[in-house]
Amino acid sequence: MVDGRKRLAVIGFGAMARNLRASFRRSGGAFDIAAALVSEANALNAAAEDQMQFLHDPLALIAWKPSLVIECASHGAVRDAVPVLLRAGISTVIVSIGSLADPLLRSELEAAAVAGNSRLTLASGAIGGLDVLRAARLAGLSSVQYVGTKPPAAWRGTAAETLCDLSSVSGRTTFFEGNAEEASRLFPKNANVTAAVALAGIGFQQTRVSLVADAQGHLNSHQVTACGAFGDFKICLHNEPLAENPKTSRLAALSIEQAIMRHFDPIEM
């Protein structure tokens, strides 16, 4: 505890981690982000932060004894740091869910959590409705489809550039159709939501994915449609960007905050 507050640490100190820390500080509640595991390269930038301890090695973070660690960094950080933490008994929330498209990493994380008697929590991130998918799959899901839509500029620097001419898109152009396994491999920077839907529903092979460039919209939109023995549902989100990083949705940062509260709350809602 820090002044009676929970002793939390983040991995990465970019847009989401800073937003999370500022939000907890504003609310003055039970939580404080007081340490960050950062790479040597961005330590200088991070050092300006008040009352924060910056660490460069997962073992130093374990020695710091956090109540909970929150990964807001990258797929690589999930691979390199999270199994070590879980094995040491430190429960961790991750937001770079796309890393779990790798089945070997999923097995490694599960084994580490079992060995350390700790827990790995996946923040829902930029998507919603995962509770419905998880419940519905118990009775059998016959189909799950995810449609991700962004303005053409937001697809620059991705494989979309080789699949369509983004500069000439004037309406809605679907440039990718396939399954979640292919989508995660071809679009690693956009894999977080795809992976979250696949993991909550019918897996990477069976989840159908369409990716769309829409010149008329300015927000990132996510639509999930599912059918099964439970009935069917369709959920659609239009996400505002996070001020500190327009590539990240505000909802993704809020979902981490909520995951932390759920972790400590005696009543999990």
Positions that interact with ligand NAD (CB under 6 A): 11-16, 37-39, 42, 72-74, 76-77, 80, 95-97, 125-126, 192-193, 245, 248-249, 252
The DSSP annotation for 9-77 comes to EEE--SHHHHHHHHHHHHHT-SEEEEEEE--GGGHHHHTTSTT-EEESSHHHHHHH--SEEEE-S-HHH
* CA atoms within a 13 Å half-sphere pointing along the CA-CB vector of 8: 27
Asked if 214 and 151 count as a contact pair (C-beta separation under 8 A), the reply is yes
Put residue 205 in one of left, alpha, beta given phi > 0 → left and psi -120 to 50 → alpha: alpha
Q: How far is the CB of 251 from ligand NAD (least distance, A)?
A: 8
* Choice between 95 and 198, CB closer to ligand NAD: 95
Question: CA-CA distance, 45 to 261, in Å (whole number)?
Answer: 28
- Judge whether 56 counts as a catalytic residue: no
* Choice between 56 and 230, CB closer to ligand NAD: 56
CA dihedral of 166, 167, 173, 178, whole degrees rounded to 10: -10
Instruction: Identify the residue whose tokens are 């983004």.
Output: 166
Q: How far is the CB of 229 from ligand NAD (least distance, A)?
A: 28
Strand order through the sheet with 68-71 = 53-55, 31-37, 6-11, 68-71, 92-94, 120-122
* Choice between 148 and 228, CB closer to ligand NAD: 148
* Choice between 91 and 248, CB closer to ligand NAD: 248
Q: How far is the CB of 114 from ligand NAD (least distance, A)?
A: 24
* Choice between 114 and 156, CB closer to ligand NAD: 156
> Which residue lies nearest ligand NAD, judged by its C-beta?
14
Q: How far is the CB of 43 from ligand NAD (least distance, A)?
A: 10
User: Residue 94's Cα: distance from chain center in Å?
Assistant: 6
* Choice between 11 and 180, CB closer to ligand NAD: 11
Helix (H) or strand (E) run with residue 245 in it: strand 245-249
Helices 15-27 and 250-264 cross at an angle (nearest 10°) of 60
Q: How far is the CB of 98 from ligand NAD (least distance, A)?
A: 6
Choosing from 56, 218, 222, 263, the catalytic residue is 222
Question: CA-CA distance, 98 to 96, in Å (whole number)?
Answer: 6
Q: How far is the CB of 193 from ligand NAD (least distance, A)?
A: 5
Contacts of 45 (CB under 8 A, 6+ apart): none
List the catalytic residues.
Answer: 222
